[in-house]
Amino acid sequence: QVQLVESGGGLVQPGGSLRLSCAASGRFFSINAMKWYRQAPGKQRELVAAIRRDGNTNYADSVKGRFTISRDNAKNTVYLQMNSLKPEDTAGYYCNADVRTVSYSNVDFNYWGQGTQVTVSS
């Protein structure tokens, strides 16, 4: 099994910053893509940022230039640095990972974390 545990959410004023972390644990061969999603009440869940194992990244247009996704493969951890936060960024943020459990298979299994709340308000 694989567990993903997010941390770092909280309440912040507009223009402020937060850094989210997601640590993976359990038995697996490797973690490939890692992603951050978010979902606000009444809205669809959306992909915020993704990072491949080699460091290639992509971002939602709404967060480009403000958010940075990174990872530490040795720690099996992905981060989301969020700067210049806006009220529109308020949402539950969820970590997602594509995991290969054994070396002799190229099949990825997808896992979700429990989520962490980010609230941007004055």
- The pLDDT value given to residue 114: 97
Query: Is the pLDDT confidence value at 24 over 90?
Result: yes
- The pLDDT value given to residue 87: 97
- CA-wise closest residue to 24 among 44, 9, 3, 40: 3
Share of the chain above pLDDT 70, in %: 100
Query: DSSP letters along the chain, please?
Result: -EEEEEE--EEE-TT--EEEEEEEEES-SEEEEEEEEEE-TTS--EEEEEE-TTS-EEE-GGGTTTEEEEEEGGGTEEEEEE-S--GGG-EEEEEEEEEE-STT----EEEE---EEEEE--
Question: Which of 18-22, 26-30, 79-83, 88-92 shows the lowest mean pLDDT across its residues?
Answer: 26-30
Greater pLDDT, 101 or 66: 66
- The pLDDT value given to residue 37: 98
Q: What is the pLDDT of residues 56-68, one digit of tens each?
A: 999 999 999 999 9
- The pLDDT value given to residue 1: 80
Give φ, ψ of 58 to 5 degrees. -145, 155
- CA-wise closest residue to 7 among 25, 28, 27, 22: 22
Query: Is the pLDDT confidence value at 121 over 90?
Result: yes
- The pLDDT value given to residue 15: 98
